[in-house]
Structure formats: C-alpha cells, structure tokens
Structure 1
Amino acid sequence: MSEIVVVYEFDQPAGARAPAAGPPDAERLPRRVHAAPAAPGRLDAAGPRTLCGKDTFAMAKAGRTPSGDPGEPWYPEAYASAVCPDCDAVMEI
C-alpha cells in the first residue's frame, strides 16, 4: 500500500467556530479520524479522498504518521473511539 496520511474530520471548519466555543487556539476534538493516501509526490499532504471515499478538503492532517509496524495502530490511540470504521477496515487488509 502507498503512504498513508491520517486526517481529522471536524464538526465545523476552524473558521466557523462560534465565539462561545472557546478561544481560537483551543484544541478541537475530531469527530472522525480517517486514513487517506498521500498526495502524489507529497508525503506531507493527503490526497483528495479518504480510504472510505470522503473529501479531504476540509479535513486537517494529523501530526502523526502511521508507523507501518505490525500490531501498531495507524491512528493516534487517544482518538481510537473516533476512528472511521470503513477506513479502519481498509487499513486492516
């Protein structure tokens, strides 16, 4: 499999935050964690679609890159409950 980029899907884009949602630099928790193929010629950017077929345009790249080691999760363990089941199924193949 080609290089994989972990991306976060949020409920709303960063610019659409309501002032009552907290300071602009407050950590936003992802609604879903997806896997996407790396963009052609770039290992630091996601391609246009996740492995489950969602558009990555409004998603944020995670700071973590999957290690590829057997038994290691491809996603940040802190967000295990938010992992996209469809992306996870493809990653297990």
Structure 2
Amino acid sequence: MSEIVVYELEKPAAPRSSAGPPSGTERHVRKVHAAPVAPGTRTATGPRTLCGKDTFAMEAADWNPSEHPGAPWYPAEYASVVCPDCDAVIET
C-alpha cells in the first residue's frame, strides 16, 4: 500500500481561563483518512487525502498498514471514525 494514514483532529477549543485544562492537552481524532505518498518520497504525505481533503492540518499516524498484513488499513481503535470515502477507495 502506498498510502499514509492521517488523522483529522478536532479543532482546538477557544482559550480557557486558568481553571481550564492545561495547555498542550491531547486533541481528539475526528476522522481517519488515507493519503497518497508525496511524489519522490516514501514518508511524506501528499497534499490531499483519497477523499479530496487537504492534508496540511492533518497529522500523520504512526500506523503503517504494510506492517500489519491482514489488518485493516487504519488502526483498529479508530474504526468508528474512518472516513467512508477513503475506505471505499482503498477497498477498490
């Protein structure tokens, strides 16, 4: 597979008062997408996901589908937030 798994993260909340959670708290994954590898590289994400979204603000996953034969292309813990359009492209 020559795609890279990328995470579309929740947008950070507006700044809170000092009573709120500390800065640097973990943002939650909104959707899991697949993106082609950028031309001429093996590790850089291309500019768009397989469903057409811009990857600029997305975070590459540590998950490498080729290291997990027989497993889905995405990490199992994110099965509920997989982009159906990216999944359809991968499955064809």
Which TM-score band applies after superposition, normalised by the shorter structure? Answer: 0.7 to 0.9
Give the whole-Å Cα distance in 2 for the aligned partners of 1:41 and 1:10.
Answer: 27
TM-score (normalised: structure 2): 0.82
Cα distance, 1:24–1:62 mapped onto 2, change above 3 Å: farther
The one-character-per-residue Cα deviations of 1:40-90 (angstroms, maximum 9, x if unpaired) are 122211100000000001101011111276631100111110100000011
- Structure 1 residue identity aligned to 2:48: R
- 1:38 corresponds in structure 2 to 37
The structure with the larger Rg is 2
1: CA distance, partners of 2:56 / 2:75: 21
The residue that corresponds to 1:55 in the other structure is: 54
**SS in structure 2 of the partner of residue 32 of structure 1:** strand
Contact 1:68–1:74, Cα closer than 8 Å, also in 2:
no
Greater alpha carbon shift after TM alignment, 20-29 vs 57-66 = 20-29
Paired position in structure 1 for 2:78: 79
Task: State the identity %.
Answer: 61
Q: TM-score, normalised by structure 1?
A: 0.81
Matches within 5 A, 1:7-46: 7-12=6-11, 16-20=12-16, 22-46=21-45
Superposed structure 1 runs of 4+ greater than 6 Å apart: none
